[in-house]
Amino acid sequence: MIEVFANGRKFSEWTDARVSRSLDHIAASFSLSLVARDSLGDRVRLFPGDSVEVAVNGTAVISGFVDRLSTSFAAGSHSVVVSGCECSGDIADCCIDSPLEWENKKMDEIIRIVCAGFGLSFSNRMNVDVGQAFKKFSVEPGAKALDTIVKLCRERGILCCSDGVGKVYLLKPDSCPRGPALLQGKNLMAASVDFSLVDRFSSYTVYGTGKAKKKVVGTSSDVDVERNRPLVVVDSNAVEKDKVQARADWECRIRKAKSMAFRATVHGWEHEGGLWAPGVICSFEAPELFVEEPLDLLVSSVDYSWGGDGEITELTLVQPEVFEPQPESKKVKAIKAAKADPWKAVKKAVQG
């Protein structure tokens, strides 16, 4: 059962409900179609700005606010639709107030400070390696809080996520916990897949900067693309061979990973380990979709819904490489040696 608690009341007189969580959006969201009046004849009163808690089968999945109320009536009908998002949505919408600069802070320390400014808690509960402290990290005035967090995480191949109730944490896509297997004929109610070659190419060539005779070049090939479909990328920041090669290999991997996306529907909102949630790796097997051998896929989004078919969970599954960050290719600035001062000895003598 999906229950909504707000203004000291429990709202359960709804005709349609959907709760969504995704690795692509830090804030979970919800949408409810309610009857205009409850069983006691009282008018439903949920307005933008009201704080709410949404629970699925007794487990809180969203702690947030109502963003929108839409209501209408006609002959014989009166509808109310309420939608909103988790409280972490504020860091996606709003700018950092202060501070705008940090020194000798690790990534998780900066994220904790940013989150605290919006009343959110942060913990690195999965013990993700955050690397060394930043000697200095700063943002421009007007920088969005989430953009700052994403910038910090992307450089180190880490995702910043929320658990739906305002607790922010870090996730490494290639080391996610495992979930239950999804198998055609067993627990898959329905499934679909899109295969595409639109953004894939037979070869990837990346040029860095340098003189005409000394340009650094990196190449990579996709053996699954049989036609001649070359792609050339100019990376003006790359000056080293390993940087352009890493970029070429990444272009090949990321485009291949994004060329297929699966949707799966299962009965209920829970599996044997608890509620379905994004950020788990599932073994997927569906011969009707040409997946005849088990394929490890990452659950990137989860939609809990209730309607005519009862409790349904819709999963979006992708290859973990989809979230692999683009390799860093910034120019390495050489430190110039200071020029010798021919008058140094004279100045020292004059100054005594």
User: Is 332 among the domain residues?
Assistant: no
pLDDT attached to residue 284: 98
Torsion of CA 131, 136, 141, 143, to 10 degrees: -10
Is the confidence at residue 275, as pLDDT, over 80? yes
User: Is 42 among the domain residues?
Assistant: yes
Of the listed ranges 21-25, 212-216, 275-279, the least confidently predicted one is: 212-216
pLDDT attached to residue 16: 83
Strands lying side by side in the sheet with 203-207? 217-221, 203-207, 230-234
pLDDT attached to residue 40: 57
Select the highest-mean-pLDDT range: 114-118, 324-328, 348-352: 114-118
Mean pLDDT of the residues in the chain: 87
User: Is 345 among the domain residues?
Assistant: no
pLDDT attached to residue 224: 94
Query: 151 and 115, same structural domain?
Result: yes
Q: Within a 10 A sphere around the Cβ of 53, how many other Cβ atoms?
A: 15
At residue 93, the 3 state secondary structure works out as helix
Query: 188 and 287, same structural domain?
Result: yes
As a whole number of angstroms, the distance between CA 234 and CA 81 comes to: 49
pLDDT attached to residue 336: 36
**Where does residue 7 fall: left (phi above 0), alpha (psi -120 to 50 degrees), or beta otherwise?**
left
Q: How confident is residue 266, by pLDDT bands cut at 50, 70 and 90? A: very high
Query: 184 and 292, same structural domain?
Result: yes
Q: How confident is residue 343, by pLDDT bands cut at 50, 70 and 90? A: low
Of the listed ranges 113-122, 224-233, 301-310, the least confidently predicted one is: 301-310
pLDDT attached to residue 338: 39
User: Is 342 among the domain residues?
Assistant: no
**More confidently predicted of 120 and 350:** 120
Query: 269 and 302, same structural domain?
Result: yes
Omega before 141 cis (within 30°)?
Answer: no
Pairing of strands 101-105, 2-6: unpaired
- Segments forming the whole domain that contains residue 99: 91-171
Contacts 24+ apart (CB under 8 A), 280-284: 280/176, 280/177, 280/178, 280/179, 281/176, 281/177, 281/178, 281/179, 281/320, 282/178, 282/179, 282/180, 282/181, 282/182, 282/315, 282/317, 283/181, 283/182, 284/181, 284/182, 284/317
As a whole number of angstroms, the distance between CA 201 and CA 258 comes to: 13
**More confidently predicted of 227 and 174:** 227
Is the confidence at residue 111, as pLDDT, over 50? yes
Tokens (6 digits) for 256: 């291949």
As a whole number of angstroms, the distance between CA 110 and CA 99 comes to: 10
User: Is 240 among the domain residues?
Assistant: yes
Q: How confident is residue 184, by pLDDT bands cut at 50, 70 and 90? A: very high
Query: 97 and 80, same structural domain?
Result: no
pTM of the predicted model as reported, rounded to 2 decimal places: 0.82
Q: How confident is residue 41, by pLDDT bands cut at 50, 70 and 90? A: low
Of the listed ranges 1-5, 65-69, 161-165, 321-325, the least confidently predicted one is: 1-5
As a whole number of angstroms, the distance between CA 123 and CA 223 comes to: 42
User: Is 341 among the domain residues?
Assistant: no
Of the listed ranges 50-59, 204-213, 318-327, the least confidently predicted one is: 204-213
pLDDT attached to residue 293: 96
Query: 104 and 185, same structural domain?
Result: no
As a whole number of angstroms, the distance between CA 283 and CA 170 comes to: 23
As a whole number of angstroms, the distance between CA 340 and CA 335 comes to: 15
Give 34's contacts (C-beta < 8 A, 6+ positions apart): 11, 13, 14, 15, 44, 46, 80, 81, 82
pLDDT attached to residue 209: 80
Is the confidence at residue 335, as pLDDT, over 80? no
As a whole number of angstroms, the distance between CA 316 and CA 277 comes to: 11
Query: 269 and 187, same structural domain?
Result: yes
Q: Within a 10 A sphere around the Cβ of 307, how many other Cβ atoms?
A: 12
pLDDT attached to residue 317: 97
Query: 154 and 15, same structural domain?
Result: no
CATH classification of the domain holding 63: 2.30.300.10
CATH classification of the domain holding 121: 3.55.50.10
pLDDT attached to residue 121: 93
pLDDT attached to residue 259: 96
pLDDT attached to residue 56: 83
pLDDT attached to residue 351: 57
Last residue of a domain, one of 52, 71, 86: 86
Q: How confident is residue 211, by pLDDT bands cut at 50, 70 and 90? A: low
Last residue of a domain, one of 86, 112, 135: 86
As a whole number of angstroms, the distance between CA 296 and CA 179 comes to: 10
Q: Taking Cα atoms as reference points, which of 239, 221, 238 lies closest to residue 230?
A: 221
User: Is 327 among the domain residues?
Assistant: no
The alpha helices in 122-181, defined as continuous H runs, are 145-154
Residues 117-135: what's their mean pLDDT?
91
